[in-house]
Structure 1
Amino acid sequence: MKHTYKLLSVAVATALLTACGDTKTTIVEHEPVVEEVKKDEGKDHDHDHDHGSVSASGRLLVTSPDSNSIHILDVEHKEVAEELTSTHFPKYVYTTASSRYAVLVQSDDSRVEFVDGGIWEEDHGDHMHPYEEIPKLSSVSFDNVKPAHVTSGEHNTAIFFDGEAGQTNAQVAVFSEAYLGGDTSAFAEIEYDSYMHGAAQARGEYTLSTIREADSHPVLPNKIGLFHKHDDHFDQEKVFEVTCPVLHGSAQNHEHVSFACGDGVVVITEENGGFTAAKIANPESFAEGQRIGTLRGHEGSHQFIGIAGTDLVVIDPEHNEIEKVEWTITEGHSIAGGDFNYDGSHAAVLDSAGVLTIFEQHTENDEHHWEVAHTVKVHEHELDALPEGASFRLTFSKAENIVFVVDSSAKHVLGYDLESAELKVEIELDFTPDRAVWLGIENGGEHAH
């Protein structure tokens, strides 16, 4: 696997949710944004800050369409904390396990780079000490063929490199944030003998990753393997008997790891140091050919979010069922993104019409349910008159109950309180935004105040 530790010569350089009971819906609209991002020119970035000055609100890394320009925004002060340049256009952006680093997936150019968001904390024995510095491009990069799915467990991040038919085999890189900080021992890899569009979930000293048999789909895997770390590599310990045809999408929570298949979802349960697999079949309500292609999980939830075309589903391993959500997408539009919030108490889905739906969780008869709490139209246009090329993205704060929506045509970022749907953050940009991720100290930095 080609990965480098060097100083780069670069200029300052994704249900919910079963709605149940009476659905309460609030339509919220807002006036155009009036606050403009300002370059943070006067701040001294060359030293560690004291406890009281570290921002609990964190930062937002925002990309631009077809550009290698990267902007990191200070959420609290609505300032540009730094402008960086990646080597190529980052088509997809993710975060590492603790949200300190952004993962810039330059899939068309087979390169992955990392941005240190500059806000993190360290264990000093009797307390967690927060730090805040200038964001910067990491000295670590990967140059492996077709980087695709990026997932994070409690401590480690896994990047699946698909490879290319007849030329390069698939690979998986598993590492912690310590590796990006210089600890080369915090890295291990899986080497395959074929290519595939796969997925991997890092879980302690194990990684669950996909396997494509030669006589299966030409690109998508059909089985799942358990791999155990030994120094700088993983050895395959077992292949689960339960098959997963045309596998695409994976997630994990405290008890389970899930993989989406054409005919259902394989749920792998970790218990007493062992792993067992079972499949939950697609519900009869699915249309012919419909399948779940995206999964989301959270440590604080026993259920998984699933996206099946324009339908939302909740996968419940405890009750061995997949259930569609009573939720309606804007007609003629698709799902632009969705996930749990920072503590698993809420979730949100954004559609391509710029309509944000917020769900909240409650428990009834020892069963966890979701209901629609708010619906927010995040722009002032009529839904049939959206500007040409308008796109909407979302990302969640891992420190506060906030979801951020990026509106490309309006060139702004809006942050909504998931409890009240109140607009809490509005940042106007002087560039066209594309994707965004939140960086900072997770679960709030109560240590940062």
Structure 2
Amino acid sequence: MIFRAKVLAAAVSAILLSACGGMDHQVTKTEQAVSSDASATETKEEASEDTHDHDEAVKDVAGRLLVTSSDNNVVNIYSTADQSLIESVGLTSKPQYAYGSENHRYAILVQRNDGMVEFVDGGLYREAHGDHYHNHEDAPSSVSFQLTSTKPTHVTVNEGGIAVFSDGDEDTQQNASVAVFGEAQIGGLSDGVVELEYNTHMHGAAQARGEYLVSSLRDSDGASNMPSQIALYHAHDDHFDQEQVFDVTCPVLHGSAQNEHTIVFGCDDGVAVITQQGGSFSATKVANPESFTEGMRIGSLKGHHHSEQFIASTRNQLFILHPEEGELEALEWQSTNGLSLSYYGFSHDGEHIIALDSAGKLSIFAGHTHEDDHESEQANENEGEHEHEVHWEVTHEIAIKDAETTMPEGHSFSLAVSHSEDAVFVGDPIEKQIKKYDLESGELVQTIELDVVPDRLVWLGIASSEEAHDHDH
């Protein structure tokens, strides 16, 4: 794994833009990343104490949107205020995945097929000035920091750090690896990248927790390239050392997420639950429910630090994981006519769940507890349910497209959650638009016309001080 500065980045970008001939995945409340720099971005606690933000010069208070295109290696950044293109940046190659960094300043652009991860500065960020903060609005730009590795695939982002898991390659005998860093490293304010090098290849997953890393582990003699164990690693200077292998197995491990105290991994037979108390970690297993048919398994998960629950997906169904109760509860949702799930996750404040299927059905769920209900006492007595347990109900179901319209071949809807307000942005390849929906009303409140067919979508901007982040893949 190599981190390096891009040589002649500006010239390369210009050449790529000229050649293209046109223009167009959860942060949880954990300790700050070992590689972070306090001067680079504010913490959530500092933001809540600040009452003297200076954002008069910031026009894009609702953020900016980075859009990738499946047709070329150019990414385009749009202003939500002007609803117009403000910058195009050329990458080395076309990205397969795109994410936002922990404070939403940078886009993380994963070019798995070419073994590279590049970054784009959205230009919106907050900087400390004594007893107050200044919000800045600069032009978007590429940055010199980049990662070169073998098949970078799974990226998880949280306040404990950005973890990039690279699978390695069986054919060329290149080993898997994990790199943990943050916005301080991306912006060049620190060189404290911490790395884990495995002794074999694997299609794995990792979660950064400050000075710790919880990551998958594979037997190098095993027949499958999928890991079946989970290990705890501790940072020492620029590398991680293994401290513990958990006694709970996780066959065919795939997908992970975390919240304030818990890290979860999807397994063939259920979900492995790792609980942290200070520097102590323990593991349990939540088994698949009896309703699972043959071949069903949890393949991905999403978490949020305001929620003790996780969202889990299997095939085209969604479940709520209750780690403390040790159960998976089906969410009252299903995709349109068995079509695929395009996106799911929590809203920025954890008060909504959003699901989008490939037919363009956008479902918005709101959470409520029994103490919100007038008959909560009776419900608790009769059903034995926990008073503060959150239940989710659909409040809006929105058709993004007309039934008669057809999705262009090789394209799909994409979605980005706003971290400054209760809204989501949906990339519509059919209409070549970005559509903004209000989560409370379910109404379409903004439409941005594009010159290209959108592929991936990333929200970049200055988050609300109360917001909690989640970007797990």
Structure 2 residue identity aligned to 1:336: S
Tell me which moved more, 124-133 or 54-63. 124-133
Partner of 1:367: 389
Partner of 1:345: 351
Question: SS where residue 390 of structure 2 aligns?
Answer: strand
2-structure distance, mates of 1:215, 1:428: 52
Matched, 1:407 2:405: no
What does residue range 321-336 of structure 1 map to in structure 2 within 5 Å?
321-336=327-342
Q: CA deviation at 1:182?
A: 1.2
Partner of 2:449: 428
Q: CA deviation at 1:50?
A: 6.2
Partner of 1:24: none
Structure 1 residue identity aligned to 2:448: I
Partner of 1:112: 117
What does residue range 146-157 of structure 1 map to in structure 2 within 5 Å?
146-157=151-162
Retained in 2: the 8 A contact 1:63–1:71? Answer: yes
Q: Structure 1 residue aligned with 2:214, among 208, 215, 236?
A: 208
What does residue range 139-178 of structure 1 map to in structure 2 within 5 Å?
139-165=144-170, 166-178=172-184
Structure 1 unaligned segments of length 5 or more: list them. Answer: 15-48
Retained in 1: the 8 A contact 2:64–2:122? Answer: yes
2-structure distance, mates of 1:242, 1:155: 24
Structure 1 residue identity aligned to 2:247: E
Deviations 1:57-79 (A, max 9, x none): 11110000141011001112212
Question: SS where residue 254 of structure 2 aligns?
Answer: coil
More helix by share: 2
Change (3 A) 1:183 1:231: farther
What does residue range 270-349 of structure 1 map to in structure 2 within 5 Å?
270-349=276-355
Q: Structure 1 residue aligned with 2:78, among 30, 51, 73?
A: 73
Change (3 A) 1:223 1:387: closer
Partner of 2:5: 5
Question: SS where residue 169 of structure 1 aligns?
Answer: coil
Deviations 1:288-338 (A, max 9, x none): 110010111111111111110011001111211111112121003110011
Structure 2 residue identity aligned to 1:213: D
Retained in 2: the 8 A contact 1:114–1:137? Answer: yes
Structure 2 unaligned segments of length 5 or more: list them. Answer: 18-24, 26-52, 371-386, 468-473
Q: Structure 2 residue aligned with 1:254, among 256, 260, 266?
A: 260
Retained in 2: the 8 A contact 1:98–1:155? Answer: no
2-structure distance, mates of 1:328, 1:95: 28
Retained in 1: the 8 A contact 2:408–2:429? Answer: no
Retained in 2: the 8 A contact 1:217–1:246? Answer: no
- The two structures have a TM-score, normalised by structure 2, of 0.84
Question: SS where residue 178 of structure 1 aligns?
Answer: helix
Structure showing greater relative contact order (alpha-carbon pairs closer than 8 Å, 6 or more residues apart): 1
Retained in 1: the 8 A contact 2:101–2:157? Answer: yes
Change (3 A) 1:155 1:443: farther
Retained in 2: the 8 A contact 1:185–1:231? Answer: no
2-structure distance, mates of 1:217, 1:395: 38
Q: Structure 2 residue aligned with 1:381, among 403, 413, 420?
A: 403
Partner of 1:58: 63
2-structure distance, mates of 1:97, 1:431: 28
Matched, 1:125 2:130: yes
Q: Structure 2 residue aligned with 1:419, among 440, 451, 467?
A: 440
Matched, 1:100 2:122: no
Partner of 2:273: 267
Partner of 1:41: none
Q: CA deviation at 1:238?
A: 0.7
2-structure distance, mates of 1:114, 1:344: 27
Deviations 1:216-271 (A, max 9, x none): 45211111111111111111111111000000000011111110001001111111
Retained in 1: the 8 A contact 2:339–2:357? Answer: yes
Question: SS where residue 440 of structure 2 aligns?
Answer: coil
2-structure distance, mates of 1:422, 1:319: 36
Retained in 1: the 8 A contact 2:318–2:334? Answer: no
Deviations 1:393-428 (A, max 9, x none): 111011111111111121000010011101112101
2-structure distance, mates of 1:113, 1:425: 30
Question: SS where residue 113 of structure 2 aligns?
Answer: helix
Tell me which moved more, 262-271 or 217-226. 217-226
Partner of 2:462: 441
1-structure distance, mates of 2:252, 2:450: 41
Tell me which moved more, 385-394 or 132-141. 385-394
Structure 2 residue identity aligned to 1:176: G
Q: CA deviation at 1:386?
A: 2.2
Retained in 2: the 8 A contact 1:225–1:237? Answer: yes
Structure 1 residue identity aligned to 2:55: H
Deviations 1:339-366 (A, max 9, x none): 1111000011000001100011111222
Structure 2 residue identity aligned to 1:386: T
Structure 1 residue identity aligned to 2:436: G
2-structure distance, mates of 1:149, 1:388: 27
Question: SS where residue 108 of structure 1 aligns?
Answer: helix
Retained in 1: the 8 A contact 2:54–2:134? Answer: no
Retained in 1: the 8 A contact 2:199–2:220? Answer: no
Q: CA deviation at 1:124?
A: 2.4
Retained in 2: the 8 A contact 1:350–1:356? Answer: yes
Deviations 1:182-219 (A, max 9, x none): 13433110000000011110111111111011344521
Question: SS where residue 280 of structure 1 aligns?
Answer: strand
